[in-house]
Structure 1
């Protein structure tokens, strides 16, 4: 951030008060950092709007590992996309449930399709795609 630009904005007092409360609750040190984060978030959403653009995401899955053949099915899905899947973290939550986090890199449409396949696997109790960016185009 060597080249900073200052600018002013007009904002409703009540909205600013709510924003300041949000800043406090999230632990931002100042308004500028919070606004930069909001801008980056919007730019990442825009990146995902171009479904052919290279993106990065994580898919979080929760499942009962006693469900017949589920772990094998998930592993097979991952092996069939070995070029896009960067890493998998597997955590034993209790005697029955597992949490799996899968890091994926590829075109947004590919990443979304892989995530949908994993989340839609019969026996997965909960799944969520968290879309992010490679960071190459963010300031």
Structure 2
């Protein structure tokens, strides 16, 4: 892939924000950060168009609360056409992390994640999506 160089003019405040972003995310340079931001924006635009995307729903909860696992499993079964795989990990004696790999229209994956994340007792939940094609 060839690279084209071009100049960008930014005011001081925006340049400082970009430099902070580079530093906070351990990018090698500003160009890498700008590429990342552009690609991220392109993916997010595809989500709005309801394109087919792949993703993961990450949930953290107390594994001793069996009703959480049951509700999560029920939701996954209801959306089985979009769930690719599920992995679970004990983070410690109590906390459990469940990663649910999903693929489908972005609106449907958002719907699934909202149902999962809203289960009473979920300590943390997040959907991450990326282009699938």
TM-score by length of 1: 0.82
Matches within 5 A, 1:1-139: 2-51=1-50, 53-134=51-132, 136=133
SS of residue in 2 equivalent to 1:73: helix
SS of residue in 1 equivalent to 2:127: strand
Q: Which moved more, 1:117-126 or 1:37-46?
A: 117-126
Shift of residue 64 of structure 1? 1.5
Q: Which moved more, 1:59-68 or 1:11-20?
A: 11-20
TM-score by length of 2: 0.85
CA contact (8 A) 2:21 2:33 kept: no
Unaligned stretches of 5+ residues in structure 2: none
CA distance in 1, matches of 2:74, 2:96: 17
CA contact (8 A) 2:89 2:97 kept: yes
Structure-2 change in CA distance of 1:12 and 1:60 (3 Å): same
CA distance in 1, matches of 2:37, 2:57: 22
Shift of residue 42 of structure 1? 0.9
